[in-house]
C-alpha cells in the first residue's frame, strides 16, 4: 500500500511511504506526476522511485520484498516479552506532582513484593522465549528494598547459568538511597541505573519535592557518588516535562550538559493513573509539547554542528525506524503493540500487567488491564482476557486513521494509552494525544530530512545507528 502526506515544511513537499518502510520526499510537481501514474521513464526521479517500490513493474517481485521487509520489522514477535519489570516496592520519599502511581510513605507496611511472589515472577521470566532479557527494577523507590533487588539478581543469575540467556539488569532510582555497598553491587552485576532530573534546581525541586526540600542537591551529589563507583556512563537520566519546563527548552538541556550527560530523552507528562489528578495544574495540550520539541531539537542540532555531541534519545529511536528496517527495541512504539508481547510488569502485590502504564491505570481502580497473578503460567497470562482485549487495538496498520497514514511504517499502536484515555484499545485517532505527538514529531524530523542539511543529516545518521558523528563517513553511511 502506498501512502502520502504533505509536509508542513519545506512548503509544497510531500512524503510518500510504502509497506516496505521505504520513503521518498517529492516536490509538488513530482508528487502530482507520481500520484497520477504519469511520471515518464526519463524523469530524474523515476529510477529512484522504481527501486524504492513506489513505481511498480509487473513481475519485479514487489510483494516478496514487502513480505521480507515486514518479517524484518516484526522479528520481535518471535521473542515474546523481553523486558520484565519488577515493582519491588510502592514506597517512596518523594512526592512528585506528576507521579502516575499512588506512592506509599517511606515507612509504610504492606507495599513491598514478597519473596514468594518474586520467585514466581522469575519463573515467568524464564518461561518467556526471548534469548535476550532485560530485568528492570522500579517502584516507588526500589532502593528502599535493595535487599530484594540483590536476591532477585542473584537468583536470575543462578538460573541463567543453565539457560545461557543474555541478561541485562536496570534500576530506576532517585539515587538518594543507594549507598556504597548497593552501588558496588550494581557495578559488579552490571546493573544499569536510570534517574530523573527535571531541569535546573528550582524546577527540579518544585516538581520532585522530598522531605528535606533539597532534592536537586541530593540528586547531584548522589550522581557523583554513583559515577565514581559504577562509571560515568553507568547512570543515565531523563526529565519529565511539565508545563513549567516548556517555557525554556535550553535551560533543561543545559542542565544535562552541565552535569556531563551526552543524551537527553524528552518526554511529555503521561496521562495515566494518579497523574490525571494534577494534569490541570501541570499539564498542557500535546501541541505545546510538539512546539517545545521543535525548539529543543533545533538547539541540540546546533550543539552538534558546533562539535558538542548531544543525543535526543527519542529522535534516535524514531530515526532508527525511518533509516533502517530494524526495530529499536522500544516497546511503546511497535505494531503489533509491545504491551504484553514485549513487556511484562510484576507488581508488588503479585499482579501482572502488560505495560507499566497499565499498572498505573490499575492503581486508580481500572482493573481491565490485569493479566493475572505471578503464579499463573506464562501461556495463561498471554491468553488472558486482557490480552485478547488489547489485541483489538494492537496493529496500527489496521486502525481507523492509521491504515492510510504515511507515518505508520515508522510508528506503532498503543492500545493501553487509548484504552485508558478513550475507553477502548482502538481509540479515536482524531483526538489522540499519541497521534498528535507522533504526527508532530515525524513532521519535524522529515522536515529536517527534506531540507537535507549535511551537518544535521550527519547528526541524524549518528543518532539512528548509535555511533559518533566522527564515525559517519557521509550522511546515511556508517562503516561496519
Q: What is the dihedral of CA 136, 142, 147, 148, to 10 degrees?
A: -50
The pLDDT of residue 62: 60
User: Would you give the distance in Å from CA 143 to the centre of its chain?
Assistant: 23
Helix (H) or strand (E) holding 256: helix 249-258
- In this structure, are residues 450 and 13 in contact, taking their beta carbons and an 8 Å threshold? yes
In this prediction, residue 79 carries a pLDDT of 74
Residue 259: which of 229, 227, 230 has the closest Cα? 227
The CA-atom distances, in angstroms, between 415 and each of 127, 250, 337, 381 are 24, 33, 7, 17
Q: Where are the beta strands (DSSP E) in 39-104?
A: 83-87
- Name the fold adopted by 78-265+326-382: TIM Barrel (3.20.20)
Q: Please provide the distance, in angstroms rounded to a whole number, between the alpha carbons at the two ends of the chain.
A: 32
Output phi, psi for 391, to 5 deg: -65, -25
The alpha-helical segments, DSSP class H, found in 164-214 are 180-188, 201-207
> All 3 cell numbers of residue 150?
540483590
Q: Give me the tens of pLDDT residue by residue for the chain, a chain 480 residues long.
A: 899 999 999 999 999 999 889 999 999 999 999 999 999 999 999 999 999 999 987 665 566 666 666 666 666 666 789 999 999 999 998 888 777 566 788 889 999 999 999 999 999 999 999 999 999 999 999 999 999 999 999 999 999 999 999 999 999 999 999 999 999 999 999 999 999 999 999 999 998 988 888 999 999 999 999 999 999 999 999 999 989 999 999 999 999 999 999 999 999 987 654 445 556 667 899 999 999 999 999 999 999 999 999 999 999 999 999 999 887 778 889 999 999 999 999 999 999 999 998 998 888 788 899 999 999 999 999 999 999 999 999 999 999 999 999 999 999 999 999 998 899 999 998 999 999 999 999 999 999 999 999 999 999 999 999 999 989 987 666 665
Report pLDDT for 345.
97
Decide: 281 and 372 in contact? Cβ < 8 Å: no
Domain spans of the chain, in order of start: 1-73, 78-265+326-382
What are phi and psi for residue 30, nearest 5 degrees?
Answer: -65, -35
Burial class (CB in 10 A: 0-12, 13-18, 19+), 473: exposed
316 in helix, strand or coil? helix
In sequence order, the 6+-apart residues with CB closer than 8 A to the CB of 2 are: 16, 17, 18, 54
Q: Enter the DSSP assignment of 168.
A: E
User: What is the pLDDT, as a whole number, of residue 421?
Assistant: 87
Question: Contact at 8 Å (CB) between 65 and 20?
Answer: yes
CA 316 vs CA 118, 224, 246, 324: distances in Å: 34, 27, 21, 12
Residue length of the chain: 480
- pLDDT at position 332 is 84
Q: What are φ and ψ of residue 446, in 5° steps?
A: -70, -25
Contact 107, 90 (CB under 8 A): no
Task: Tell which residue, 238, 298, 245, 240, has the closest CA to residue 262.
Answer: 238
β-bridge pairing 132-138 and 343-346? unpaired
pLDDT by residue (tens digit) across 63-86?
666 666 666 666 666 678 999 999
Quote the CA–CA distance of 54 and 17 in Å, as a whole number.
Answer: 8
CB atoms within 10 A of CB 98: 20
Measured CA angle at 156 (ends 102, 85), to 5 deg: 25
For 138, the enclosing helix (H) or strand (E) is strand 132-138
Q: Supply the pTM of this predicted model.
A: 0.93
Amino acid at each position: 500500500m502506498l501512502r502520502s502526506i504533505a509536509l508542513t515544511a519545506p512548503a509544497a513537499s510531500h512524503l510518500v511511504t510504502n509497506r516496505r518502510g521505504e520513503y521518498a520526499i517529492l516536490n509538488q510537481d513530482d508528487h502530482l506526476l507520481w500520484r497520477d501514474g504519469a511520471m515518464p521513464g526519463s524523469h530524474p526521479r523515476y529510477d529512484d522511485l522504481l527501486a524504492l517500490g513506489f513505481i511498480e513493474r509487473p513481475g519485479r517481485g514487489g510483494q516478496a520484498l514487502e513480505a521480507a521487509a515486514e518479517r524484518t520489522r516484526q522479528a520481535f514477535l518471535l521473542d515474546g516479552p523481553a523486558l520484565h519489570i519488577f515493582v519491588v516496592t510502592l514506597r517512596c520519599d518523594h512526592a512528585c506532582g506528576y507521579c502516575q502511581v499512588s506512592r506509599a510513605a517511606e515507612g509504610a507496611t504492606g507495599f513491598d513484593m514478597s519473596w514468594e511472589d518474586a520467585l514466581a515472577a522469575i519463573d515467568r521470566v524464564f518461561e518467556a522465549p526471548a534469548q535476550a532479557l532485560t530485568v528492570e527494577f522500579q517502584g516507588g523507590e526500589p532502593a528502599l528494598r535493595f535487599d530484594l533487588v540483590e536476591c532477585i539478581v542473584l537468583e536470575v543469575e543462578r538460573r541463567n547459568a543453565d539457560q545461557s540467556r543474555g541478561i541485562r539488569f536496570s534500576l530506576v532510582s532517585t539515587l538518594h538511597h543507594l549507598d556504597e555497598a548497593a552501588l558496588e553491587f550494581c557495578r559488579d552485576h552490571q546493573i544499569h541505573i536510570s534517574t530523573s532530573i527535571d531541569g535546573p534546581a528550582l524546577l527540579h525541586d518544585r516538581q520532585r519535592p522530598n522531605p528535606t526540600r533539597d532534592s536537586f542537591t541530593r540528586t547531584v551529589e548522589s550522581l557523583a557518588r554513583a559515577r565514581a563507583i559504577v562509571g560515568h556512563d553507568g547512570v543515565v537520566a531523563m526529565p519529565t516535562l511539565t508545563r513549567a519546563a516548556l517555557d525554556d527548552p535550553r535551560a533543561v538541556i543545559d542542565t544535562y550538559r552541565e552535569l556531563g550527560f551526552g543524551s537527553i530523552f524528552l518526554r511529555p507528562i503521561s496521562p495515566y493513573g494518579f497523574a490525571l489528578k494534577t494534569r490541570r495544574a501541570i499539564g498542557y495540550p500535546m501541541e505545546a509539547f510538539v512546539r517545545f520539541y521543535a525548539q529543543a531539537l533545533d538547539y541540540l542540532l546546533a550543539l552538534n554542528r558546533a562539535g558538542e555531541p548531544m543525543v535526543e534519545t527519542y529522535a534516535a529511536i524514531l530515526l532508527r525506524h525511518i533509516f533502517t528496517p530494524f526495530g529499536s527495541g522500544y516497546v511503546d512504539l511497535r505494531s503489533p503493540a509491545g504491551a504484553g508481547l514485549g513487556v511484562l510488569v510484576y507488581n508488588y502485590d503479585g499482579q501482572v500487567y502488560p505495560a507499566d502504564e497499565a499498572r498505573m491505570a490499575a492503581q486508580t481502580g481500572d482493573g481491565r488491564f490485569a493479566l493475572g497473578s505471578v503464579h499463573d503460567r506464562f501461556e495463561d497470562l498471554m491468553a488472558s482476557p486482557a490480552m485478547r482485549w488489547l489485541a483489538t487495538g494492537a496493529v496500527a496498520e489496521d486502525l481507523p486513521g492509521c491504515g492510510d497514514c504515511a507515518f505508520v511504517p515508522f510508528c506503532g499502536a498503543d492500545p493501553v494509552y487509548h484504552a485508558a484515555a478513550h475507553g477502548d484499545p482502538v481509540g479515536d485517532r482524531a483526538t489522540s494525544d499519541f497521534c498528535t505527538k507522533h504526527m508532530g514529531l515525524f513532521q519535524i524530523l522529515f522536515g529536517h530530512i527534506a531540507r537535507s542539511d549535511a551537518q544535521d543529516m550527519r547528526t541524524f545518521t549518528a543518532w539512528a545507528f548509535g555511533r559518533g558523528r566522527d564515525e559517519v563517513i557521509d550522511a546515511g553511511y556508517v562503516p561496519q
